[in-house]
Amino acid sequence: MPETTVTNGDSARGRDTDPDPATLERLAGAMMRRQGALSIRVSIVFLSLILGLPLLNWLLPEVASQSVGGFTLTWLFLGVLFYPITWLLSAYFIRASDRIEAEIARDYGVKAVDAKENR
């Protein structure tokens, strides 16, 4: 996630000032709560996949041993699909986290600026 700074969006008048500390505290708290909930949701999906595979092997061995593209279903998931699924979950998390940051900044009337733009 890009490093960001928060300004009050007053750049049209040629000056950016930081919001008051109480606003920053509310902003940080709201962002941490929403991003924490996002982290838990993504973790639940990831752990369900990781823990679900052994359960599938144990409870439904005939399904897990089915051949798909020359692999058993278990090895297809572990050897071929695991990393793309992890990448997709990571990309989703980053995009959703950035969206949360932008929404909260908009709701609190501040502007989140990418720190790379200021260099």
Q: pLDDT for 10-54, tens place per residue? A: 444 434 556 788 888 888 898 999 999 999 999 999 999 999 999
* pTM of the complete model: 0.70
Confidence of residue 1 (pLDDT cuts 50, 70, 90): very low
Terminal-to-terminal C-alpha distance of the chain = 17
Decide if 10 is inside a domain.
no
CB 4: neighbour CB atoms within 10 A? 18
CA 80 – CA 7 distance, rounded (Å): 45
**H or E, element range at 107:** helix 82-107
Confidence of residue 114 (pLDDT cuts 50, 70, 90): low
Domain that holds residue 49: 19-111
Decide if 8 is inside a domain.
no
Decide if 98 is inside a domain.
yes
CA 12 – CA 16 distance, rounded (Å): 9
| Identity of residue 57 | N
Per the structure, the count of domains in the chain is 1
